């Protein structure tokens, strides 16, 4: 009886709401039609046109029609969100996500893209490991959602899988909990330990979706750490609910592929023997390549830009996978990375000495420049040009070119600020310049606050709409 009563009440409420809405809509359309007709017949007097008396039309609605022209009415119509059809669901699976854990751009994408999708009314879930290095303020707010044992290795060995949940900004974050794999202080250690860790994580993430009875339309996995997800979807999970999902693999950095001894990966992954062939997992006959397998089994492969999508198919930048990528080039797509404009907003950033927008940028950026020079011990001079370099210090970033030109560009009018960490040869080179050129400030060991302070961007572009232009979730 109670259930029936609730349904009846809802029906009456909807009927009442629909009747009221239809009355208002008909009245508004009648008024708009009258205005258009008057404007068409008497264009010179369209401004003075008075709406006819219509029942159930409020004063505010009548006031709307006193617009100068029909054209201006059309220009004032709010921009609608793109029509994505029935509500879709997307599960993101990756090894890091800001603000919980971040070592590079992957953490930013795993944070910003799900939030953008949630704003488009897409059901979003993010799955990452529950590392011990995740700040305690987040650990305390996690809720236990359940646990189970999962077969992992080729010999059927079972491992515990715990699920801890955290919600924020319309996004559900599920953390895979297992102290045996994620008790380290850092998310990445060495391949000997990381291969078993991420074999476990990829399979546990899909098993958790089945356990939670949450079936996504799309599973979006990132880099080699989650590259086994497409293989698991089409093998171990093909007859389960989650096996119906479309898989998208994003390559953030092709240099890191998860290459290790074939027998070890075959044991820890528990994948069937037929995926270990030269067209899928096998590389150099003795090794297995986790990223290569993910590329072969995923429905779509994306990279961080169109340029990078083309570069990785060349021998020069293909990192040994150029031929494999060219074979699968029909499903490779470049989508430009972007940023979260709620976080990277100079008009509201509390870490800046002076906030600024497009109107106050020139004036207030001088204040920020002075504060930066003072904090780094550089000569405070607004006439000097400050060049900033924020990067991982590796050969992939073209630092050989930077090192070659620094002596030539340094003079009494130029200052250079370097922020990053990486290969010792580049760290030592920049330290040498800092010790010998007063106008260079190098910070190798960085904190997030310093990184945010130095990274002052002028123009920020909200990026997910680019994804919608390139990727049709219905046709993947």
Q: ∠ at Cα 58 (55, 63), nearest 5°? A: 115
3-class DSSP assignment, residue 220 = strand
Q: What mean pLDDT is predicted for residues 308-335? A: 96
Q: What mean pLDDT is predicted for residues 170-199? A: 93
What is the gyration radius of the CA atoms in the chain, in angstroms? 28
Contact by Cβ (8 Å): 185, 218: no
Residue 432 is predicted with a pLDDT of 85
The mean predicted confidence, pLDDT, of the chain is: 80
* Torsion sign across C-alpha atoms 322, 328, 333, 339: negative
3-class DSSP assignment, residue 36 = helix
Q: Which residue has the higher pLDDT, 66 or 115?
A: 115
- Tell me the percentage of the chain whose pLDDT exceeds 90: 55
Residue 220 clears pLDDT 60, i.e. is over it: yes
Q: What mean pLDDT is predicted for residues 83-102? A: 90
Residue 247 is predicted with a pLDDT of 97
Residue 437 is predicted with a pLDDT of 80
Q: What is the pLDDT of residues 322-342, one digit of tens each?
A: 999 999 999 999 998 877 788
- Tell me the percentage of the chain whose pLDDT exceeds 70: 74
Q: What mean pLDDT is predicted for residues 309-319? A: 95
Q: What mean pLDDT is predicted for residues 395-416? A: 85
Give backbone dihedrals phi and psi of 265, rounded to 5 degrees, phi first: -65, -40
Which range is least confidently modeled, 113-117, 162-166, 360-364, 470-474? Answer: 470-474
- Beta-carbon contacts of 235 under 8 Å, excluding residues fewer than 6 positions away, are 271, 272, 275
3-class DSSP assignment, residue 281 = coil
Q: Which residue has the higher pLDDT, 450 or 411?
A: 411
What pTM was estimated for this model as a whole?
A: 0.71
Write the Ramachandran bin of 298: left for phi over 0, alpha for psi from -120 to 50, otherwise beta.
beta
At 345, list the tokens: 């907003």
Residue 372 clears pLDDT 50, i.e. is over it: yes
Residue 274 clears pLDDT 70, i.e. is over it: yes
In whole angstroms, give the CA distance from residue 330 to residue 299.
10
Residue 67 is predicted with a pLDDT of 43
**Residue 103 pLDDT grade (very low, low, confident, very high; cuts 50, 70, 90):** confident
Looking up tokens 């040994």, which residue turns up? 320
In which element (H, E) is residue 164 found? strand 158-168
Q: What mean pLDDT is predicted for residues 64-77? A: 44
Q: What mean pLDDT is predicted for residues 357-382? A: 91
Q: Which residue has the higher pLDDT, 83 or 391?
A: 391
3-class DSSP assignment, residue 324 = helix
In whole angstroms, give the CA distance from residue 110 to residue 207.
20
In whole angstroms, give the CA distance from residue 301 to residue 193.
27
DSSP assignment of 251-267 equals: ES-TT---EEEHHHHHH
**Residue 441 pLDDT grade (very low, low, confident, very high; cuts 50, 70, 90):** low
Residue 82 is predicted with a pLDDT of 61
Residue 2 clears pLDDT 70, i.e. is over it: no
Which range is least confidently modeled, 63-67, 219-223, 382-386, 428-432? Answer: 63-67
Residue 106 clears pLDDT 50, i.e. is over it: yes
Residue 408 clears pLDDT 90, i.e. is over it: no
In whole angstroms, give the CA distance from residue 374 to residue 443.
15
Q: What mean pLDDT is predicted for residues 124-144? A: 96
Residue 71 clears pLDDT 60, i.e. is over it: no
Residue 171 clears pLDDT 60, i.e. is over it: yes
Q: What is the pLDDT of residues 52-67, one digit of tens each?
A: 443 443 333 433 444 4
In whole angstroms, give the CA distance from residue 464 to residue 458.
19
Max mean pLDDT among 291-295, 304-308, 465-469 falls in: 291-295
Residue 446 is predicted with a pLDDT of 39
Residue 1 clears pLDDT 80, i.e. is over it: no
Residue 468 clears pLDDT 60, i.e. is over it: no
Q: What mean pLDDT is predicted for residues 204-213? A: 98
Contact by Cβ (8 Å): 250, 303: yes
Which range is least confidently modeled, 364-368, 381-385, 392-396? Answer: 392-396
Residue 443 is predicted with a pLDDT of 60
Looking up tokens 């830009």, which residue turns up? 305
Residue 439 is predicted with a pLDDT of 67
């Amino acid at each position: 009886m109670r259930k029936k009563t609730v349904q009846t009440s809802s029906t009456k409420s909807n009927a009442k709401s629909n009747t009221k809405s239809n009355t208002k809509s008909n009245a508004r359309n009648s008024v708009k039609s009258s205005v258009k007709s008057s404007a068409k017949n008497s264009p010179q007097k369209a401004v003075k046109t008075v709406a006819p008396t219509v029942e159930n039309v409020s004063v505010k609605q009548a006031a709307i029609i006193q617009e100068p022209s029909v054209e201006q009415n059309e220009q004032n119509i709010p921009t609608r969100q793109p029509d994505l059809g029935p509500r879709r669901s997307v599960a993101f699976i990756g090894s890091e996500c800001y603000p919980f854990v971040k070592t590079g751009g992957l953490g930013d994408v795993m944070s910003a893209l799900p939030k953008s999708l949630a704003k488009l009314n897409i059901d979003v879930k993010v799955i990452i490991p529950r590392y011990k290095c995740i700040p305690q303020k987040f650990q305390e707010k996690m809720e236990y959602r359940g646990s189970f044992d999962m077969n992992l290795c080729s010999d059927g060995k079972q491992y515990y899988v715990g699920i801890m949940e955290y919600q924020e900004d319309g996004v559900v974050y599920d953390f895979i909990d297992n102290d045996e794999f994620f008790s380290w202080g850092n998310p990445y250690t060495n391949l000997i330990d990381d291969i078993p860790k991420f074999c476990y994580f990829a399979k546990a993430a899909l098993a958790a979706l089945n356990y939670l009875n949450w079936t996504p339309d799309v599973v979006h996995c990132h880099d080699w750490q989650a590259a086994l997800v497409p293989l698991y979807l089409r093998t171990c999970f093909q007859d389960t609910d989650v096996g119906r999902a479309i898989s998208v693999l994003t390559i953030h950095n092709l240099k890191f592929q998860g290459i290790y001894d074939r027998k070890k990966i075959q044991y820890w992954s528990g994948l069937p023997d037929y995926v270990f062939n030269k067209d899928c997992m096998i590389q150099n006959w003795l090794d297995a390549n986790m990223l290569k397998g993910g590329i072969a089994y995923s429905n779509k492969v994306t990279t961080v830009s169109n340029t990078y999508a083309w570069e990785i198919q060349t021998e020069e930048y293909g990192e040994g996978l150029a031929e494999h990528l060219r074979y699968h080039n029909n499903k490779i797509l470049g989508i430009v990375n972007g940023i979260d404009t709620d976080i990277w907003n100079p008009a509201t950033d509390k870490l800046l000495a002076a906030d600024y927008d497009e109107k106050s940028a020139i004036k207030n950026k001088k204040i920020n420049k002075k504060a930066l020079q003072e904090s780094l011990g550089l000569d405070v001079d607004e006439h000097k040009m400050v060049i900033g370099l924020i990067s991982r210090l590796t050969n992939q970033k073209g630092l050989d070119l930077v090192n070659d030109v620094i002596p030539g560009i340094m003079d009494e009018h130029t200052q250079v600020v370097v922020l990053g960490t990486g290969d010792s040869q580049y760290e030592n080179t920049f330290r040498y310049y800092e010790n010998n050129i007063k106008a260079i400030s190098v910070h190798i060991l960085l904190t997030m606050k310093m990184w945010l302070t130095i990274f002052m961007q002028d123009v920020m572009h909200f990026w997910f709409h680019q994804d919608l232009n390139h990727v049709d979730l219905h046709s993947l």
